[in-house]
């Protein structure tokens, strides 16, 4: 497991990225029980398993905020509660609760992490091209601002592991959607046309541009710079074919 030094070295934060090589050998491919995998995060972070919260991830642009309204004991069932309340699913979690690990699992899509050291708010986002088109990054920052008094200029962000701009071929549908979303800017720096008529999508560049537009300073955008497709330590849907949640990469952030 690796950490994101940009966060961990400067703030009362612990981050981690877990890949294929970190999956315990006792986990079987078709195993849907995440508890064995959670055990390794629990040991790494020294937290109880019931303080680990995953986004349910439906490629939506929905954000869920977890705040002090939730007494500690109810965190045990929080996933069920959220699923009931948010039938459409949610791909982003914002919280001001310390010692609650928020995480996403991915296999090429881009996880983004946020932390506002002034208001002490953290967030995690699962962004594929659909989430980007839906505005999940903007909506996450908006929830941080509207519900937790965060300011984008105080917020630090990290782009975790994800497929790079040379490995991610997309078609016209993605081009149309993202070009429209970034209409005021030229999309050519993150959507390059290939000789076969398709495009290379650099999802990290598209995300970084959105963060800058939202007022996050470029020096507060850290890129871990690992391509999941090229690096076999990490799960890649494009390289490996279908993956189950349990066999994917996990990125998490917890405030102390």
Chain contacts with Zn ion (rule: CB under 5 A)? 164, 167, 227, 229-230
Question: Would you say 81 or 200 has its CB closer to Zn ion?
Answer: 200
Question: Would you say 125 or 164 has its CB closer to Zn ion?
Answer: 164
Q: Take residue 150 and report the two structure tokens written for it.
A: 């965060």
CA distance 193 to 237: 22
DSSP 8-state assignment for residue 144: H
Question: Would you say 31 or 200 has its CB closer to Zn ion?
Answer: 200
Question: Would you say 7 or 229 has its CB closer to Zn ion?
Answer: 229
Question: Would you say 186 or 230 has its CB closer to Zn ion?
Answer: 230
CA distance 136 to 177: 14
Q: Rounded to the nearest whole angstrom, what is the least distance from the CB of residue 205 to Zn ion in the complex?
A: 13
Q: Rounded to the nearest whole angstrom, what is the least distance from the CB of residue 111 to Zn ion in the complex?
A: 16
Q: Rounded to the nearest whole angstrom, what is the least distance from the CB of residue 236 to Zn ion in the complex?
A: 9
Residue 176 makes CB contacts below 8 A (sequence gap 6+) with: none
Alpha-helix residue ranges (DSSP H) falling in the chain: 5-8, 35-45, 78-85, 129-134, 136-148, 172-181, 203-213, 237-240
Question: Would you say 193 or 238 has its CB closer to Zn ion?
Answer: 238
Burial classification of residue 142, based on how many CB atoms lie within 10 Å of its CB (0-12 exposed, 13-18 middle, 19 or more buried): middle
Backbone torsions φ then ψ of 53, nearest 5 degrees: -125, 125
Q: Rounded to the nearest whole angstrom, what is the least distance from the CB of residue 231 to Zn ion in the complex?
A: 8
Instruction: Evaluate the CA torsion angle 140, 249, 77, 130 in order and state its sign.
Output: positive
Q: Rounded to the nearest whole angstrom, what is the least distance from the CB of residue 164 to Zn ion in the complex?
A: 3
* Whole-number Cα distances in Å, 167 to 154, 175, 184: 33, 16, 26
Question: Would you say 115 or 234 has its CB closer to Zn ion?
Answer: 234
How many C-beta atoms lie closer than 10 Å to residue 1's C-beta? 15
Q: Rounded to the nearest whole angstrom, what is the least distance from the CB of residue 230 to Zn ion in the complex?
A: 4
Query: Nearest Cα to 123, choosing from 154, 160, 92, 82?
Result: 92
Q: Rounded to the nearest whole angstrom, what is the least distance from the CB of residue 255 to Zn ion in the complex?
A: 31
């Amino acid at each position: 497991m690796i950490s994101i030094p940009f966060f961990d070295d400067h703030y009362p934060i612990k981050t981690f990225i877990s890949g294929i090589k970190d999956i315990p050998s006792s986990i079987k491919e078709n195993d849907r029980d995440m508890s064995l995998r959670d055990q390794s995060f629990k040991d790494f972070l020294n937290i109880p398993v019931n303080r680990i919260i995953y986004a349910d991830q439906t490629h939506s642009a929905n954000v869920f905020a977890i705040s002090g309204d939730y007494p500690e004991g109810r965190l045990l069932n929080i996933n069920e509660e959220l699923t009931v309340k948010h039938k459409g699913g949610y791909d982003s979690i914002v919280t001001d609760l310390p010692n609650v690990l928020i995480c996403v699992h991915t296999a090429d899509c881009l996880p983004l992490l946020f932390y506002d050291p002034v208001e002490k708010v953290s967030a995690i986002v699962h962004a594929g091209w659909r989430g980007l088109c839906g505005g999940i990054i903007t909506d996450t920052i908006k929830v941080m601002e509207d519900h937790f008094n965060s300011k984008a200029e105080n917020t630090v962000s990290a782009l975790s592991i994800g497929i790079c701009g040379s490995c991610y071929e997309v078609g016209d549908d993605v081009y149309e959607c993202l070009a429209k979303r970034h209409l005021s800017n030229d999309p050519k720096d993150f959507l390059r046309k290939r000789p076969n008529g398709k495009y290379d999508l650099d999802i990290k560049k598209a995300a970084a541009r959105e963060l800058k537009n939202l007022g996050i300073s470029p020096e507060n955008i850290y890129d871990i710079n690992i391509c999941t497709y090229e690096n076999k330590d990490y799960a890649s849907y494009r390289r490996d074919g279908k993956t189950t949640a349990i066999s994917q990469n996990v990125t998490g952030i917890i405030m102390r």
